[in-house]
């Protein structure tokens, strides 16, 4: 049988990191087995579901490049289809109407708790006579449909955890259809998986308790259930379930931070799974080739923000400048810098000059803003350390020399600086750091000579000369020249 898997998010919130990893593992398994990856939107909670959240979920999957083969399908389009299966289940004698009101159930639950008894539905409606049922129906009493759980055990062989069993006494007669005739999650998901021919259900292990209930629906339908693989949860640094309190959990928030999709896919793929060869940088195609459930951990993996940052920096460094240029345009626009207004060749050099220092795409505007704007403040400690009268004298000499460079490129600029350092018998730091501070206002940054090449001769000379026009030792404003 051809492999068919699905990702089934609920559009009641953003695409969560955990859902994204579940989608990835479904995708990897489908692609490795030449199967189909299906998107189903589980919107049976009509009040909380929204088109906006659906669009955001789809956008998140698109950003991660997890292309689905079929869908999106919406559960809300099949409400009548779920009801159609009730007659089939009735004939098995495995379901029954329950006329208990929420108030009655709550009262009985309170009583059980006060008597220190564990509460589960007490089957009050299980043995109603046909006459009692007819009477209630004629009086239009609302009812739900419940599944009768027989004695014994319920179990399944999980592809990750192995055999999982539960005594049926721990499973209450659960509801499958509400009184308003809408399906409950556990019923809708079984009917959908059955209708779509899903062969493998790959989801978080917080669904294990649902699986026991769903197996009873498959039993009553008389169909073979799919195979199950329950993934370990993603944990925060305190080893608690990853939640909003732990930090960012919405996938598109990572996009807004400047995480590359390839880096994010690589990172979440290794939370709870390892190819077994200690490699940490893996392409999507490599993960498809190497993925298997026997290498998925049984316990949750930690979402390590520092590791994500490191991994993203590696992907940024290894990306072409052309690719980064297109990705960076919106990040610069947020800082009122339109890269399209500048020669592309210059922007590509600017990107090259700092990409090994960037951890996120959002870092680029800050790391390079001095290329686009005049310096308003110079680093205070840098002024004290590098703008001494002796070092200013060196800069004056060098400013005259670089004006005579005909082919103003990093190689020729560096050559002039080396000759001057040898001539004066001084340390390179005595002229390199003061020049960097004069050009950028900072004590750290890109390669100095590449920076000067990007600025060009005229702008480099202008910025150096500007230093000579200020009394930097007395005219300071919060550490900067005024």
Place of tokens 């040898």: 422
Query: What does the pLDDT average to over 255-269?
Result: 97
Query: What does the pLDDT average to over 155-165?
Result: 97
Q: What is the pLDDT of residues 45-77, one digit of tens each?
A: 777 888 999 999 999 999 999 999 999 999 988
Task: Determine the distance from the C-alpha atom of residue 224 to the mean position of all C-alpha atoms in its chain, rounded to a whole number.
Answer: 34
What does the pLDDT read at residue 114? 93
Residue 475 — very low, low, confident or very high, per pLDDT cuts 50/70/90? low
What does the pLDDT read at residue 246? 58
What does the pLDDT read at residue 21? 97
What does the pLDDT read at residue 328? 98
Query: What does the pLDDT average to over 236-249?
Result: 74
What does the pLDDT read at residue 80? 84
Strand-strand pairing, 476-477 and 144-147: unpaired
What does the pLDDT read at residue 245? 59
Two domains, one topology: 84-177 and 380-481: no
- The pair of structure tokens assigned to 215 is 């197996």
Phi-psi region of 408 (alpha: psi -120 to 50; beta: other; left: phi over 0): beta
C-alpha span between 135 and 197 (Å, rounded): 40
Q: Is the sign of the CA dihedral 298, 299, 304, 310 positive or negative?
A: negative
Tell me the average pLDDT of the chain: 93
Q: Is the sign of the CA dihedral 353, 358, 360, 366 positive or negative?
A: negative
CATH of 84-177, one of 3.90.800.10, 1.20.1070.10, 3.40.50.1820, 3.40.30.10: 3.90.800.10
477 pLDDT exceeds 50?
Answer: no
464 pLDDT exceeds 90?
Answer: yes
Residue 386 — very low, low, confident or very high, per pLDDT cuts 50/70/90? very high
C-alpha span between 331 and 329 (Å, rounded): 6
The domain locations on the chain are: 84-177, 319-371, 380-481
What residues have CB less than 8 Å from 330, skipping those under 6 apart? none
What does the pLDDT read at residue 244? 60
Count other Cβ atoms within 10 Å, centred on residue 64.
Answer: 23
Residue 302 — very low, low, confident or very high, per pLDDT cuts 50/70/90? very high
Q: 229: which strand partners? A: 202
- Between 477 and 174, name the one with better pLDDT: 174
Q: 7: which strand partners? A: 39
What residues have CB less than 8 Å from 353, skipping those under 6 apart? 368, 446, 447, 450, 451, 454
Query: What does the pLDDT average to over 270-285?
Result: 92
Provide the annotated active-site residues: 244
What does the pLDDT read at residue 117? 87
Residue 270 — very low, low, confident or very high, per pLDDT cuts 50/70/90? very high
474 pLDDT exceeds 50?
Answer: no
Residue 78 — very low, low, confident or very high, per pLDDT cuts 50/70/90? confident
480 pLDDT exceeds 60?
Answer: no
What does the pLDDT read at residue 451? 96
CATH of 380-481, one of 1.10.10.350, 3.30.10.20, 1.10.260.40, 1.20.1530.20: 1.10.10.350
Q: What is the pLDDT of residues 97-147, one digit of tens each?
A: 999 999 999 999 999 999 988 899 999 999 999 999 999 999 999 999 999
What does the pLDDT read at residue 376? 86
């Amino acid at each position: 049988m051809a492999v068919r898997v699905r990702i089934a998010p609920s559009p009641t919130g953003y695409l969560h990191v955990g859902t994204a990893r579940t989608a990835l593992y479904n995708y990897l398994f489908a692609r490795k087995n030449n199967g189909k990856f299906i998107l189903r939107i589980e919107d049976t909670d009509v009040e909380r579901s929204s088109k906006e959240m659906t669009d955001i979920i789809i956008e998140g999957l698109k950003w991660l490049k997890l292309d689905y083969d079929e869908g999106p399908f919406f559960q809300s389009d099949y409400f009548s289809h779920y009801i159609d299966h009730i007659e089939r289940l009735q004939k098995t004698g495995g379901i029954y109407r329950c006329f208990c009101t929420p108030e009655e159930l709550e009262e009985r639950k309170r009583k059980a708790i006060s008597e220190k008894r564990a509460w589960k539905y007490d089957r009050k409606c299980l043995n109603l006579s046909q006459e009692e049922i007819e009477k209630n129906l004629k009086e239009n009493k609302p009812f739900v449909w419940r599944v009768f759980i027989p004695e014994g055990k319920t179990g399944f062989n999980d592809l990750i955890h192995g055999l999982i069993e539960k005594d049926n006494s721990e499973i209450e007669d659960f509801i499958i259809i509400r009184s308003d005739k809408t399906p409950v999650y556990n019923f809708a998901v079984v009917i959908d998986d059955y209708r779509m021919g899903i062969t493998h259900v790959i989801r978080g292990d917080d669904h294990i308790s649902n699986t026991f209930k769903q197996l009873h629906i498959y039993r009553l339908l008389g169909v073979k259930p799919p195979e199950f693989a329950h993934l370990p949860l993603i944990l925060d640094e305190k080893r608690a379930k990853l939640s909003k309190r732990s930090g960012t959990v919405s996938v598109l928030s990572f996009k807004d931070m400047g995480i590359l999709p390839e880096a994010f896919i690589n990172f979440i793929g290794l939370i709870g799974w390892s190819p077994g060869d200690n490699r940490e940088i893996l392409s999507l195609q490599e993960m498809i080739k190497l993925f298997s459930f026997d290498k998925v951990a049984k316990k949750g993996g930690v979402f390590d923000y520092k590791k994500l940052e490191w991994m993203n920096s590696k992907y940024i460094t290894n990306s072409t400048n052309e690719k980064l240029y297109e990705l960076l345009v919106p990040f610069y626009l947020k800082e009122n810098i339109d890269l399209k207004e500048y020669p592309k060749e210059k922007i590509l050099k600017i990107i090259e000059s700092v990409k090994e220092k960037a951890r996120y795409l959002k870092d680029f505007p800050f790391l390079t803003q001095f290329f686009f704007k005049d310096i308003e403040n110079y680093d205070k400690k840098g002024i004290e350390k590098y703008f001494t009268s002796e070092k200013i004298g060196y800069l004056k000499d060098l400013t005259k020399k670089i004006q005579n460079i005909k082919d103003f490129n990093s190689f020729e600029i560096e050559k002039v600086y080396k000759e001057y350092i040898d001539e004066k018998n001084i340390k390179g730091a005595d002229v390199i750091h003061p020049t960097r501070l004069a050009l950028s206002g900072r004590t750290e940054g890109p390669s100095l000579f590449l920076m000067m090449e990007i600025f060009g001769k005229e702008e480099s000379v202008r910025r150096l000369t500007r230093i000579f026009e200020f009394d930097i030792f007395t005219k300071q404003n919060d550490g900067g020249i005024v």
